[in-house]
């Protein structure tokens, strides 16, 4: 059996998700800061749980719960687990024994394994102001910017706000970000993915035509500096191991490799 857990009861699954706290989105969902869904085997005493978060899905607890596993596969096939617009499952598991169940859980869909890195930063290495190219400026994404140029912000930024924080209002209340404009064109942005307690995670995007100018590192550095000024003690960054550009940007900012881990990707459509 698999049942959806109401947010008021999320504290019941908090111990199950604790080993995956380095995926901060899981903690942010349990905190009620970021939107998500949680499904369990038993509402009163959960022993297995599945979470859908803005940053991916997480499967935790006892993988030997046959009723939960069968219910998971049935609910996945019926379209009851994921939002209707999601056709790719990005999944992280704990413990690793869940790996033995993935074929039956995801059937008839197949999946691939991807190797990823988790980086953390506690201080900014790059002097981003000095590195900012002529004709460019970096600004915080806040109420003032939104009131001034909200309609002109890139769709990707607006989608990031809504997707990870539930709404633009939710982002402006709980999130943060920086945006770099060159010659009045928005070309690079770094937005908080999620936050919980003293930690947060960020992402970065630069318009393809403006890459290889160091703008990603400048914008991300400005955002890390902003996060630290807001009282966060550690900033997280996730990327695939083969994404050399992302790794170089992270290390230029001042991120240090914390761990490697496996994730699983299944195409549903």
The mean pLDDT value of the chain amounts to 96
The architecture (CATH level 2) of 3-109 comes to: 3-Layer(aba) Sandwich (3.40)
pTM of the model: 0.95
> Would you state the pLDDT for residue 151?
74
CA dist., res. 26 & res. 46, Å (int): 16
Q: Where are the domains positioned within the chain?
A: 3-109, 120-260
Structural contact between residues 227 and 202, judged by C-beta atoms closer than 8 angstroms: yes
CA distances from 119 to 86, 102, 192, 247, 260 (A): 27, 27, 15, 9, 9
Instruction: Select the CATH number that applies to the domain covering 120-260 from these four: 3.30.420.40, 3.30.1280.10, 3.40.630.30, 3.40.228.10.
Output: 3.40.630.30
Given pLDDT bands bounded at 50, 70 and 90, which one contains residue 184?
confident
């Amino acid at each position: 059996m698999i049942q959806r857990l109401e947010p008021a009861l999320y504290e019941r699954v908090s111990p199950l998700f604790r080993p995956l706290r380095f995926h901060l989105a899981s903690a942010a969902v349990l905190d009620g800061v970021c939107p998500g869904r949680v499904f369990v085997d038993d509402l009163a005493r959960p022993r297995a749980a599945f979470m859908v978060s803005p940053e991916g899905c997480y499967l935790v607890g006892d993988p030997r719960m046959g009723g939960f596993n069968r219910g998971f596969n049935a609910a996945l096939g019926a379209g009851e687990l994921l939002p209707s617009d999601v056709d790719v499952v990005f999944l992280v598991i704990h413990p690793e024994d869940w790996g033995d169940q993935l074929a039956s859980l995801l059937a008839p869909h197949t999946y691939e394994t991807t190797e990823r890195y988790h980086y953390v930063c506690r201080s900014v290495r790059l002097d981003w102001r000095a590195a900012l190219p002529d004709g460019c400026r970096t600004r915080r994404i806040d109420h003032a910017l939104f009131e001034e140029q909200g309609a002109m912000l890139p769709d990707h930024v607006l989608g990031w706000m809504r997707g990870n924080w539930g709404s633009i209002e939710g982002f402006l209340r709980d999130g943060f970000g920086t945006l770099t404009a060159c010659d009045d064109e928005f070309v690079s942005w770094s937005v908080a993915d999620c936050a919980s307690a003293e930690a947060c995670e960020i992402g970065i995007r630069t318009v393809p035509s403006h890459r290889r100018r160091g703008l990603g590192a400048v914008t991300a550095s400005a955002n890390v500096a902003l996060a630290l000024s807001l009282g966060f003690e550690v900033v997280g960054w996730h990327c695939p191991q083969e994404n050399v550009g992302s790794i170089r940007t992270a290390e230029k900012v001042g991120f240090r490799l914390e761990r490697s881990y496996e994730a699983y990707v299944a195409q549903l459509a």
